[in-house]
Every structure is written in C-alpha cells, then in structure tokens.
Amino acid sequence: MTAAQIADALSEEDLERHFEQVIARDQRIEPRDWMPEGYRNTMIRQIAQHAHSEIIGMQPEGNWITRAPSLRRKAILLAKVQDEAGHGLYLYSAAETLGTDRTDLTERLITGRQKYSSIFNYPTLSFADVGVIGWLVDGAAICNQVPLCRSSYGPYARAMIRICKEESFHQRQGYELLMTMMKGTAEQRELVQDAVNRWWWPSLMMFGPPDADSPNTARSMAWKIKRHTNDELRQRFVDMTVPQAEALGVGLPDPELKWNPARGHYDFGEIDWAEFKRVVSGDGPCNAERVAHRARTHSEGAWVREAAAAHAAKQRKEAEAA
Ligand code: FAQ
C-alpha cells in the first residue's frame, strides 16, 4: 500500500488522533501529513504575514542605502536589506508547501487582505534609525523568532533557524552603529536618542496584542505553533533591552520603566493600543506609501516573472525532447 492509499483507508478521527500524537510528542508536521484545516489556515496566515513583513521591511532601511555615510556602512546595510529579501523568499516557499501560491499571497498583500508587521509603517528620519531598527526591531524579531525554531510545522521551523542566525548579525550591526554614534558628537548622540524615542513603543507593539485580546494565541500554543504568549515575549524583550540601553547610554522613553525585584522583571508603562489598532488597520504614518511601493515594484517586475516562466518552459521542452 502507498502512503496515499493508507491515508485514504484511515478515518478522519484516526488522522486527527495521529496529528495530535505528533504534536504531543513534540515531533514535526510535514507538508504531506494530514492536518486540520484550522492548523493549515493558521500556518498560512502566520507564515504569509511573516513573509510580507520581511519584504515590506526592506523599505524603511532601503531608504538610506544611497545616503549611507561611508562605504563600510553602505556595504553592511546592503547586505542586511538583501538578507530580508532572502527571508521573505524562504518564507513564501514555506507557505507554498501548504498549498498556497506566492503570486496569490502577494496579491492579497497589495490589496490589503493580508497583514504585515505594524513596525514597518513608521518613517526612517535619520541614519540613526538604521542603527535603532537593527538594535530594537531585529532584537524584538529575534526574541519572537528563536522559539519559532521549535514550531510544530517543519518547513517553518527549519526556515527560522537560518533566519535567526542572520537576524543576530542584523542586531549586532545596529548596536555597533549606535555605539559608534554615541561615542561621536553631541549631535550624533541626539540623533540616536531621538530615534530611540520614536521606535521604542512601536517595537513593543511588534509582539502583538495583549494576551487577553489575542484571538489566536491559545489555539496556536495548543498546536505548538507558538511556544510563548505575546506578553511573555514582550517582557523578555524589555528585560533583555534595558541593560543594553544602559550600556549604550541612551534613555528609554517610559517614566514607568523600573526593575521590580518581587517579580524579577522590569515593569513598564501602558502601550498605546489605540495606535496599534490604527496602524494594523492601515492608518499608520506610512501604510499607504509602503503598500503602493510594493504594488508598483510588483507590476514593474512582471517582465522578469514572464521571462523566468518562458525560460523554464523552454528548458522543460528541451528536456522532454532529449
Ligand atoms: N502587526 O491573535 P494574535 C522582522 C495581528 S519580521 C500587524 O496575537 P498571532 C524582521 C495578527 O497577525 C516581523 N499585525 O496573532 C525584520 C492577527 O491577525 P488576524 C514579523 C499584527 O498570530 C527586521 C491579529 O493581529 N514577525 O521584524 C501584529 O497569534 C528588520 C491578532 O493577533 C512575524 O511575523 C503586528 N505587530 O500572534 C525585517 C513573526 N501583531 O488573525 C526587516 C511570526 C498581531 O486578525 C527589518 N509571527 N497582529 O489576521 C508571530 O509570531 C505571530 O503571528 C505574532 C501575532 C506574535 C506576530
């Protein structure tokens, strides 16, 4: 009997029981395994949103490539932005293993039917923003994504291993840039402080709504897609980042930020959830610009996709003839 024949002979309950056992044993669900539709749809949603975030996330820093202050900084920034493109590609490939199509996912992004991370809807006003994105945004991304290396869906978890390695380089280059600026002139230090003031709260929003308002967390934790809740990871990020800010010599714009010895964590102020909702629903400072840019580059790239498809068809024909 083939694997497909065995699957056909099993009832829906048998398949579901097997799926639950794989999850309970901390093993991986692979593309050809049976999975509940809810699991498939959750994975498609999360992986697609993640892929879109990487691709849209190239824009804020890409804005500074032509104006980087030295050849060294330009080479680092180019490499980083190219890495984000690569992450988007691995993730679209992982989403395709679930039966979706990248063209369709891109269409959903540019018509506003799928989300991407709120963080990329803020402007990059100075070169210090490049450093702060590396330090805070990539720092938050690592905090969120390292546990995803143990996510239950095999292709996603494996993609995440390489992505996290590259994100670590991104975080370090950001921190090193900020260290350099903080050792520079008073004006440079002011640029860093201004960028930190603008990016701190949006970075905390990256972890998603508070647990009490997160419709997907309970289900995704039960399926071991997510390994920690949004609030747990947000707290981990704050605890990790405060000492780094002290080492840099920058302040964090939260008067309520304070070590709480009883909890063994930093307490922090209330996030502006109304702003988060506004940005996620499309009304942030740069949403329209980001999506319009993505739509334009997608249509300008049509000839590349057509040429690649024609080349693949030609090769297929030649192989068949041979
Ligand atoms: N922005 O029920 P939950 C990066 C949505 S990559 C926009 O808590 P869930 C690298 C959420 O999707 C950054 N939407 O959802 C880089 C859900 O949507 P629905 C991206 C958000 O999935 C660095 C609804 O709200 N990382 O930074 C946001 O359990 C520098 C309800 O939320 C990932 O995607 C948000 N911040 O938890 C690139 C990581 N938060 O159902 C360039 C993978 C939530 O209404 C430069 N994703 N939503 O359609 C995850 O870990 C999870 O999906 C969460 C959300 C934690 C983001």
d(CA 293, ligand 1 centre) in Å: 21
Check residue 50 and give left, alpha or beta (phi > 0: left; psi -120 to 50: alpha): alpha
Q: 59: Cβ below 6 Å to ligand 1?
A: no
On whether the CB atoms of residues 117 and 57 are closer than 8 A, the answer is: yes
Q: What is the residue extent of each domain of the chain?
A: 35-321
In DSSP terms, 153 is beta-bridged to 29
- Cross-strand bridge partners of residue 260: 265
115 CB under 6 A from ligand 1?
yes
Specify the CATH architecture of the domain 35-321: Up-down Bundle (1.20)
Instruction: Write the residue with the smallest CA distance to atom 50 of ligand 1.
Output: 46
Tokens of 186: 């008073």
Q: What's the pTM?
A: 0.95
* Ligand 1 centroid distance, CA of 219 (Å): 15
Separation of alpha carbons 207 and 232, rounded Å:
9
- For ligand 1, whether the C-beta of 84 sits within 6 Å is yes
pLDDT, one tens digit for every residue, the chain (322 residues): 666 677 677 888 999 999 999 999 999 999 999 999 999 999 999 999 999 999 999 999 999 999 999 999 999 999 999 999 999 999 999 999 999 999 999 999 999 999 999 999 999 999 999 999 999 999 999 999 999 999 999 999 999 999 999 999 999 999 999 999 999 999 999 999 999 999 999 999 999 999 999 999 999 999 999 999 999 999 999 999 999 999 999 999 999 999 999 999 999 999 999 999 999 999 999 999 999 999 999 999 999 999 999 999 999 999 999 9
